[in-house]
Amino acid sequence: MRSSLSQSTQMRQDLKINPRLYQAMDLLYMPLLDLQQHLKQELLNNPFLDLVDDDEEEEGDESEEDVEVVSEEPQKQEKDEIDWEEILLDGFDTGGHREEREEREHFEPVTVETRDLGDHLRDQLALLELTPRQSLIGDEFIGNVNDDGYLAASVHEIVVALNDMARQAAEHAARDITEEMLYTEAEGEETLGIIQTLDPPGVAARDLKECLLLQLREAGLQQSVPYRLVRDCFEELINHRWSEISKRFGISATDVQAAADEIAKLDPKPGLRYSARSDNYIIPDLVVDKIDDKYHIFLNDGNLPRLKLSKAYQDIARDKKKFDGENKEFISSKLNSANWMIQAIEQRRQTMLKVMNYIVERQREFFEKGVQYLKPLTLREVAEVISMHESTVSRVTNEKYVQTPRGVLPLKFFFSSGLATADGEDVSARGIKAQLQKLVEDEDPKHPLTDQAIVNILRETGVQIARRTVAKYRDQLGVLPARMRKRV
């Protein structure tokens, strides 16, 4: 084959997304706090953006006499405008002024130091009379305790790691390592026993069974029925086999259940009370209030910077004769970007209000009567009503919260699949779960409702549901099967 160059023409459709469209999608996706930080950064980067002052409208209402009284003020403003021009021409070029200004004004947030479970355990370990060798082993064990308070590695693994470090230290010091310098599993077990006596009770356990035994031992209950149940028949206990345990220990099923109730009061994750995880505070993006029997929707954006075009820079930009080359390109780019940002923020506000208005209209019974009356709702349904794409609605509702008369809820809470009822209406899956939870809470503990019994009750209310669906919803709610909920 002989290669050659040739030219041809053809028509083709390509989808190219404007970079600003990407930014607009990001603005829709941002929760309130992220958007607030983003706008503050934009104010720093774009001189054509300015904040809307609270007193701006009041200043616009001043009379002509008030303006004439202060005769020197206009001259001062003209002087300021000249200074603005100098800043625009000299401060935003490729020189050092802009970099120095940004470096001076931008501060990285500093994380406040917090104490975690490891710090709490090491403080206690330092108070004990231990040999340097025990302290080193103990510190290694504490380093392998996870946030829940459990030992995340076996004693054997920790001892192997300690011996590897000992060999490396000896090699670095150019000396031979002896057997006496190596650590043994017996030393590891002994040190683990010391760690397990520290606060909180149950810490450094290898599994749930050991965690519960440590807490019962700390309470001085080694001779109690709960301790014996956990130690000798843990599998039967967690599976609620009261009759088997009763026959094995020669005590009544009622006493077994009473002991199990005491065990249930213990902490299965003792380390979490000292966890270093910071509290997550939710600031709702929207507010729904009921006023005069009507629901009103408000945007909770009072702390959001209100943007406008800077008048000083607009005046400078109008004199196009003074600017050419890079200065002209810079002004054009920043002015267009500022205009677009203001429009994009307003579009975001309107989109969120449209989505929330339809949610309130669709879910009015939920706001009036509770979660059992939540109706099925999909992103596509909302998108069709407000004439927007489904992905846009998804971004608007993602990680957004609304404050309602029924609490602060994520917008995703209102979206759920549905089941058909006998009269042709639909009911939300979340509403079915709420009904199931209520049925279990109100049941007779001696005769708990089976999955089939729940199916029959729901069918009487008109809800058509399969038994396997009830079992799935029950598992999602963390509700045990009927045989394990039964009390004697």
Alpha-carbon gap, residue 456 to 13, rounded angstroms: 57
CATH number of 117-204: 1.10.10.1330
What CATH code is assigned to 417-488? 1.10.10.60
The tens digit of pLDDT for each residue in 183-225 reads 899 999 999 999 999 999 999 999 999 999 999 999 999 999 9
pLDDT at 152: 92
pLDDT in the model for residue 89:
38
For the chain, what is the mean pLDDT? 79
Q: What angle do CA 126, 127, 132 make, to 5 degrees?
A: 45
Mean pLDDT lowest for which of 52-66, 233-247, 259-273?
52-66
Mean pLDDT, rounded, for 100-112? 46
d(CA 165, CA 167): 5
Cα of first residue to Cα of last residue in the chain, in angstroms, is: 90
Average the pLDDT over 5-34 and give the result: 68
Q: Which two tokens stand for residue 324?
A: 């050419």
pLDDT on residue 87: 38
Task: Provide mean pLDDT across the span 119-139.
Answer: 91
The pLDDT confidence band at residue 113, using thresholds 50, 70 and 90, is low
Average pLDDT, integer, range 53-75: 42
Q: Angle between the 429-442 and 451-460 helix axes, to the nearest 10 degrees?
A: 120
This prediction's pTM = 0.59
The domain spans of the chain are: 21-51+280-415, 117-204, 207-275, 417-488
Fold matches, 117-204 and 417-488: yes
Q: pLDDT digits over 336-380, tens only?
A: 888 888 888 888 888 889 999 999 999 998 898 888 788 888 888
Local confidence band at 325 (pLDDT 50, 70, 90 cut-offs): low
Please indicate whether residue 131 or residue 56 has the higher confidence score (pLDDT): 131
**Cα–Cα distance measured from residue 290 to residue 294, given in angstroms and rounded to the nearest whole number:** 5
Dist. CA 356–CA 371, nearest whole Å? 17
* Matching residue, tokens 């308070």: 149
d(CA 94, CA 86): 14
What whole-number percentage of the chain has pLDDT above 90? Answer: 24
Q: What is the pLDDT of residue 289?
A: 92
Is the peptide bond prior to 448 cis by the omega test (within 30 degrees of 0)? no
Q: Which of 10-19, 361-370, 428-437 has the lowest mean pLDDT?
A: 10-19
The pLDDT value given to residue 51: 79
Buried b (16+ CB within 10 A) or exposed e, 1-22: eeeeeeeeeeeeeeeeeeeeee
101-116 burial string, b = 16+ CB within 10 Å, else e?
eeeeeeeeeeeeeeee
Residue type (1 letter), 138 = G
Q: Are 402 and 409 in contact (CB under 8 A)?
A: yes
How much of the chain exceeds pLDDT 70, in percent? 78
